[in-house]
Amino acid sequence: MAAQQRTEAYDLSLFEPKRQEWHEQKDNIVVLPQEQLEKNRRQKVQPLRLAANLFCMAAVVSIVTAIVFSQVQLTELTDQVNTAAAQLEESESVYTQLKMRSDAQYTLQTVEDYAKDTLGMQKINQNQVTCVSLSEGDEGEVLQQIGGNWWDSLWNWLQNLLA
């Protein structure tokens, strides 16, 4: 028995993948009934749905266009407001400078000298003051007539309501 040699260590066929037997494969073709074929076919163009889709797309495009246009207008108006604010600030600065210059040129003393020398005016004296007393006849007088016709009262009521 020692004479029998085993060759299993050298039998490489044990490591080869086993072959599968060929079975008859069925066809991969699926047979559908006629109504199923009609259902799966490409749908026909529906003009009403196409018109609705085009209308929706036109509405979206017009809304986007309106938003962009309003943003452009807003940007332009903001630039105009900023320009006007800068001009206002510059004008106020020029006004302040001119006011200070005029205040420096026309002090109270220069105005008094001009009135006295050029215009011939003088300061007020006690003999130029006249006192007036009104305590004797203080009374009020109503200029609007009370009463009248009902059209006038209705008209006055409407004016007071809207005022």
Between 38 and 63, the higher pLDDT residue:
63
pLDDT given for residue 82 in this prediction? 97
pTM: 0.39
CA angle 83, 86, 87 (to 5 degrees): 85
Most confident region among 19-28, 44-53, 84-93 by mean pLDDT: 84-93
| Phi-psi domain of 148 (left: phi exceeds 0; alpha: psi -120 through 50; beta: other) | left
Confidence tier at 7 by pLDDT (50, 70, 90)? low
The candidate with the shortest Cα–Cα distance to 156, out of 140, 145, 50, is 145
Task: Please report where in the chains the tokens 């220069």 appear, as a residue.
Answer: 110
Statement: residue 10 has pLDDT above 60: yes
Please tell me the least confidently modeled range out of 54-58, 91-95, 116-120: 116-120
pLDDT tens per residue across span 68-97: 999 999 999 999 999 999 999 999 999 999
Continuous segment of H or E residues that includes residue 81: helix 47-105
